[in-house]
Structure formats: C-alpha cells, structure tokens
Amino acid sequence: MLLKNNEKEKAIILRKKGFSYSEILDIVPVAKSTLSLWLKSVRLSHSQTQRLTEKKLAAIRRGGVARKMARISVTKSIKDKAIKQIGKISKRELWLIGVALYWGEGHKERKTGILASLGNSDPYLIKLYLKWLLEVVGVPREDINFWIFLHDNSSDRLDIIQKYWSDITGFPLECFQKVTWKKNKYNPRRNNQREDYYGLLRVVVRKSVNLTRKIEGWIDGIYKYCGVV
C-alpha cells in the first residue's frame, strides 16, 4: 500500500509539473485507468496546460511529417517501378504516342485550312511533341512557330517567360514574340498567380493543312485497329 501511495504521489507531482499521461506512465508503471483516477482532481496552471498543448501539437506535427515521408517513399517506389515498366521506346511507339497526344491536345480539322497546332503548359509534353514533329513526322525546324498565351497580370515577367520557353524548346528567343493576353480574374487557387507560371505555349506548324489531315487519318487508324469501331 505504501508503494502504491508513493507512486500516486509521484504521479501527482509529475502532473503538476505539466507532464502528459504518457510521460508519467513511462516513469510510474501503473494502468492508465488507475492513473486517470489518481489525477482526476489535479488542476493545472495556465503555463502547465500550455506546455501540454504545445507537446500535443509537436507530436501531431511529428506524426504528420512521418506520414508525409512514408507517403513520399511509397510514391517514389511505385513511380520507380512504373518507369522501369516503360523501358526503351521504339520509333513506332513514339509515333503512336505522338498521334495519341495530338488526339487529346491538338487542333482537329473542323473546318478547311486548319494548321497542325497543339497547346499546353506542361514543358515535358511540349518537348515530347516537338521531338515527335522533328524526328518522327519530319517537320523542318523553320516551319515551326510558337505562340504564348498569358494572363495580363504576368506582363512584368514576359521576358522571363519568353526565355523559359526558349530554353525548354531549344528554339531562339526571337521565335517567342507572338503573345496573346488574357484578362486575369483573381483567384488564389489558380496557378496563374504564382511565380512559376509560364502560361500556355502553342506550337503551330506552317503549311501543314495536309499534315493535319494525315494526323486525323492516323487517329482514325488507332481507334479502328484497337477494335473500338
């Protein structure tokens, strides 16, 4: 009984010092239900309560960081395995990838005289499309034009944006002089408010009406030979 009373007294002293239940249980080995009963009437000062609150918040943050790191690790593992599944891509596979890419993102021939044109803000997608045009389709570099679409709140960053797309594509800066401004409507959730916003780049092939028709035929061939129709 004396030992039990000593443990109870020790637990109360620790609690008054601002120790949490879990910290006390590490020092005083009793059941949590017993500890709760002992400490039921113990009142904490404002500073003690604040210390406990800060410790709880720190524990939550540590837990959040641990979960985030675990999520990052799992994501990396999944992506690394997925990358290996792709392996080396043949020229024919690249051709089909480009056709599917144009199917989703390119301008289709809905009226006579439509040029082959594709617009996107993803730099890797733009680089892949250019590789497809130049190396697979055989479009001459001099037949490729660029057109930047920006929100007008980025006007003070135009030179930075033009250089960005020049670096991404490997085309000289003078190829990025055509710009269309869109009126900005402020929305804090939209990416066009950020410093890493570079607008949308449209890649247009000159003298490409027949190329547009050919691409339409390639698209028809994909869904025909996939058994869609």
Check whether residue 102 and residue 192 sit in a common domain.
yes
Check whether residue 170 and residue 104 sit in a common domain.
yes
Give the chain's length. 229
Check whether residue 220 and residue 119 sit in a common domain.
yes
Check whether residue 50 and residue 95 sit in a common domain.
no
* Per-residue pLDDT at 165: 98
Q: What is the rounded CA–CA span in Å between residue 4 and residue 226?
A: 78
* Both structure tokens of 171: 């085309």
Cβ contacts of 53 within 8 Å, gap of 6 or more: none
Check whether residue 130 and residue 166 sit in a common domain.
yes
Check whether residue 126 and residue 47 sit in a common domain.
no
Decide if 82 is inside a domain: no
Q: How far is CA 74 from CA 60, 67, 70, 80, 203, in A?
A: 21, 10, 6, 10, 36
* Both structure tokens of 182: 């869109």
Domain residues for the domain of 33 are 2-64
In the block, tokens 């066009």 appear at 192
Check whether residue 141 and residue 197 sit in a common domain.
yes
* Per-residue pLDDT at 224: 93
Decide if 75 is inside a domain: no
* Per-residue pLDDT at 129: 98
Check whether residue 105 and residue 205 sit in a common domain.
yes
Decide if 70 is inside a domain: no
* Per-residue pLDDT at 55: 77
C-beta separation of 178 from 146 below 8 A: yes
* Per-residue pLDDT at 22: 81
pLDDT (tens, 9 = 90+) of the chain, 229 residues, equals 556 667 888 887 888 777 878 888 888 888 888 888 888 777 776 677 777 777 778 878 888 888 888 999 999 999 999 999 999 999 999 999 999 999 999 987 666 678 999 999 999 999 999 999 999 999 999 999 999 999 999 999 999 999 999 999 999 999 999 999 998 765 555 555 567 899 999 999 999 999 999 999 999 999 999 988 7
Q: What SS3 class is residue 130?
A: helix
Check whether residue 205 and residue 166 sit in a common domain.
yes
Cβ contacts of 168 within 8 Å, gap of 6 or more: 123, 126, 127, 201
Phi, psi values for residue 113, rounded to 5°: 90, 15
Check whether residue 115 and residue 205 sit in a common domain.
yes
Q: What is the rounded CA–CA span in Å between residue 51 and residue 33?
A: 23
Q: What is the pTM of this model?
A: 0.71
Decide if 8 is inside a domain: yes
Q: How far is CA 100 from CA 23, 41, 103, 104, 205, in A?
A: 60, 71, 5, 6, 18
Plot region of 161 (φ>0 → left; ψ -120 to 50 → alpha; else → beta): alpha
Element (H, E) at 150: strand 144-151
Check whether residue 142 and residue 218 sit in a common domain.
yes
Exposed / middle / buried, residue 188 (Cβ in 10 Å: 0-12, 13-18, 19+): exposed
C-beta separation of 110 from 209 below 8 A: no
